[in-house]
Amino acid sequence: MIHTSEILETLRMIDHQKLDVRTITMGISLLSCVTDDEHVLAVRVYDMIARRAERLVEVGRAIESEFGIPIVNKRISVTPAALITGAIRNPVIVARALDRAADTTGVDFIGGYSALVQKDMTQADERLIRSIPEALATTRFLCSSINVGSTRSGINMNAVRLMGEVILQTAERTAEQSGLGCAKLVVFCNAVEDNPFMAGAFHGPGEGDCAVSVGVSGPGVVKAALEHVKDKPFDEVAETVKRTAFHITRVGQLVALEASRRLDAPFGIVDLSLAPTPAVGDSVAAILEEMGLETCGTHGTTAALALLNDAVKKGGVMASSHVGGLSGAFIPLSEDIGMIRAAEKGTLCLDKLEAMTCVCSVGLDMIAIPGDTPAETIAAIIADEAAIGMVNNKTTAVRVIPAPGTKVGDSVEFGGLLGRAPVIPVHKESAEAFIRRGGRIPAPLHSLKN
Amino acid sequence: MNEQKKAVISILGADRKGIIAQVTRILYDYDVNILDISQTIVSGLFSMILIADISSEHCPFEALKNSLAEEGQRLNVQIRVQRSEIFEAMHQI
């Protein structure tokens, strides 16, 4: 029998510490839709998604109601669109079909307007990448991601250069919404095929026809647990995070299995992530500050984050039968009230955020930079981040928003889960000649593992 | 529908007469069998936890949940119904 104290603890986590399941994401393969007739392709893509995900939102809501755990988003990820648009001229047609399917099924986002170009680009890849600004400006739910590097292949610097331009164009095309399009565009190194989190979710070519994955959350629960080990050594801090992550992940596993059963789709993975939201009490920065830092971003932040990230994985991995996705602590600046405050104070800067990405789940995430930032500077930021991922054998990503017409000190409001981003400075010195070189940065020595 | 479905019904709020009477009346109407009841006062707050068997075909989950939530509003307490698996998953290995 369950103890009353355990029931009350769970209720406290949900009511006061913002425990939730961040997303149920259904991955759908579109490989069988391929044709050289763009209108037929659009119809097949729409039909495939509308059929497979028909009950996704309904099932998500039912689980939410019956188990009493908020499920914040229901999402769809699909096969990278560049893989199914090789025989047509205008991939934006597929972007619109994906968006319509998202609207019909009632999901919050659909991801997979993507290309995997870590070594080189096909013509289809390049057409898709160049179409991103239009695709994101003319759709509502669509998310896009491009993989420009990997530990095995090195970094495709031609793609990096192109993405600098594409990000700026996307910001300009969505200028009236402060460059919102860029919040739905991620540039990866070592992208994973089963990530349920947006904007970087896609259903990789190594996946099956369909899979249901879940991303958990719970920074508030970890923060509350650490309040009980004030001034104790780090051994106890790590143990506390592990125990808490275990509890959180068990909920994710339960929801994932239940969703998989009710949707009659295979269970994919649970992503053990600590994903903050802009709500007070749902902050990763607050966890780091609870460990003893006056403000997130000061000296000690990287060490604190490294401990947190590792302990989350150690605690969560035993609680789920399949762990995958990005799994770790996220540091999206605009989505974390503690990070927003730290950036506004000037304690948290781009260089420190880059250092933090060496030890946490992903990368430079939801960061607004001045609207007049040159494309080459954005490309150089991507190159730095991709280098960290490539050398350290981990996923890294860049999701920056060069908010049109803004300067350092301004603030950009995106609303909802995307939050509010203070515009932070980038280095003024040019990287133009560096980016102009193009070509490929070779894979590191440790890629030669065979 | 043969497997036993269990729910945890939690009631939190200020103490007053009739809470148990009203809640158990609704449970009886929905053909729910109560398996366990515990009542405590936590930080001055009345809290009652019932564990109930909701397997009966006369007990549609959403209807039970809504009836209890409405009664909770009348009694000025929060009444929640959740499938027990979430608590078992979290606290039992």
Domain range annotation of chain B: 6-91
Q: How far is B74 from chain A (nearest CA, A)?
A: 21
pLDDT for position A214? 97
DSSP one-letter code for A175: G
pLDDT digits (tens, 9 = 90+) for A257-274: 999 999 999 999 999 989
The partner residue sitting opposite B88, judged by closest CB among A2, A4, A69, is: A2
B40–A247 C-beta distance less than 8 A? no
CB within 8 Å: B49 and A247: no
Compare CB distances from B10 to A1, A11, A67 and report the shortest one's residue: A11
The answer to whether residue B90 neighbours chain A at the CB level (below 8 Å) is yes
Is B82–A251 a contact, with Cβ atoms under 8 angstroms apart? Answer: no
What span, in angstroms and rounded, lies between the C-alpha atoms of A37 and A79?
18
Between CA A253 and CA A264 the distance in angstroms is 16
CB contact under 8 A, B85 and A68: no
Q: Tell me: pLDDT of B71 over 50.
A: yes
Over 70: is that where the pLDDT of B31 sits?
A: yes
Q: Identify the pLDDT of residue A342.
A: 97
The reply to whether B51 touches chain A by the CB within 8 Å rule is yes
Separation of alpha carbons A65 and A53, rounded Å: 19
Residues A217 and A20: beta-carbon distance below 8 Å:
yes
Which of A4, A248, A270 is most worth mutating to test chain B (most B CB atoms within 10 A of its CB)?
Answer: A4
Put simply, the answer to whether A7 touches B40 (Cβ < 8 Å) is no
d(CA A99, CA A236): 47
Chain A residues whose beta carbon lies within 8 Å of the beta carbon of residue B50: none
Burial letters for B30-58: b for 16+ Cβ neighbours within 10 Å, e otherwise? bebeeeeeeeeeeeeebbbbbbbbbbeee
Is residue A36 helix, strand or coil? coil
For chain A, percent helix, then strand, then coil, each to nearest 5? Answer: 45, 20, 35
Task: Output the pTM of the full model.
Answer: 0.95
- Residue A438: count other Cβ atoms within 10 Å of its Cβ: 12
Give the Å distances, CA to CA, from A136 to A114, A144, A367. 12, 8, 18
* Predicted local confidence at residue B92, as pLDDT: 84
Closest by CA position to A252, among listed A327, A336, A306: A327
Burial class (CB in 10 A: 0-12, 13-18, 19+), A310: middle
Mean pLDDT for A237-252 is 96
Q: What rounded mean pLDDT belongs to chain B?
A: 91
Name the residue facing A250 among B38, B42, B90 (closest C-beta): B90
**What is the CATH class of B6-91?**
alpha beta
DSSP letter at A265 equals -
Please tell me the predicted confidence (pLDDT) of residue B21: 92
What ipTM was estimated for this complex?
0.90
Average pLDDT over all residues of chain A: 96
CB contact under 8 Å between B36 and A1, yes or no, is yes
- CA dist., res. A225 & res. B70, Å (int): 34
Give the chain B residue whose CA is nearest to the CA of A64: B82
Q: Report the length, in residues, of chain A.
A: 450
Above 90 in pLDDT, residue A84? yes
- The share of chain B scoring above pLDDT 70, in percent, equals 96
Cβ neighbours of A25 (radius 10 Å): 34
First to last CA, chain B: 25
Nearest of A24, A365, A418, A10 to residue A215 by alpha carbon: A24
pLDDT, residue B1, reads 47
The residue in chain B having the minimum alpha-carbon distance to the alpha carbon of residue A258 is B85
Residues of B in contact with A258 (CB under 8 A): 85
Query: A68 to chain B: which residues are within 8 Å by CB?
Result: 80-83, 86
Mean pLDDT value across residues B32-53? 88
Query: Which of B9, B87, B92, B93 to probe the A interface (max A CBs under 10 A)?
Result: B87
From the CB of residue A119, how many other CB atoms can be counted at a distance below 10 Å?
Answer: 17
Q: For residue A247, which residues of chain B lie inside 8 Å, CB to CB?
A: 90-91
Please tell me which of the candidates A10, A66, A258 has its beta carbon nearest to residue B90.
Answer: A10
Phi, psi of A298 (to 5 degrees): -80, 175
Task: List chain B residues with CB under 8 Å of A2.
Answer: 8, 51, 84, 87-88, 91-92
- How many whole angstroms separate alpha carbon A403 and alpha carbon A170? 10
What pLDDT, on the 0 to 100 scale, is given for residue B2? 55
Yes or no, beta carbons of A254 and B89 under 8 Å apart: yes
E-strand ranges in A128-233 read: 142-150, 154-156, 185-189, 210-216
Is the minimum CB–CB distance between A12 and chain B shorter than 8 Å? no
Give B-chain residues touching A9 at CB under 8 angstroms: 91
**Chain B closest-CA separation from residue A255 CA (Å):** 9
Neighbours of B1 (CB within 10 A): 6
How far A389 CA sits from the closest chain B CA (Å)? 34
Most confident of A184-188, A276-280, B75-79: A184-188
Task: Decide if A65 touches B, using CB distance below 8 A.
Answer: yes
| Cα nearest neighbour of A10 on chain B | B87
Dist CA A351 CA A121 (whole Å): 30
Among residues A450, A420, A439, A413, the alpha carbon closest in space to that of A121 is found at: A439
Radius of gyration of chain B (CA): 13
Could you report the per-residue pLDDT of A372-393, keeping only the tens digit for each? 999 999 999 999 999 999 999 9
pLDDT band at B4 (very low <50, low <70, confident <90, very high): confident
> What is the Cβ-side half-sphere exposure of residue A308, based on CA atoms within 13 angstroms?
33
pLDDT of residue B80: 95
* Sequence-ordered strand ranges (E) for A151-303: 154-156, 185-189, 210-216, 267-271
Q: How many residues does chain B have?
A: 93
Backbone φ and ψ for A373, nearest 5 degrees, come out as: -65, 125
The DSSP string of A307-366 is HHHHHHHHHHHTT-SSB-SS-SB--BGGG-HHHHHHHHHTSS-HHHHHHHTTTSSS-EEE
Contacts of B64 in chain A (CB under 8 A): none
Domains and CATH numbers, chain A: 1-450 (3.20.70.20)
Question: Would you call B73 an interface residue with chain A, using a CB distance cutoff of 8 Å?
Answer: no
Using CB atoms, which residue from B47, B61, B83 is nearest to A8?
Answer: B47
Distance CA A287, CA A221 (A): 10
Q: By mean pLDDT, which of A82-91, A274-283, A404-413, B47-56 is the weakest?
A: A274-283
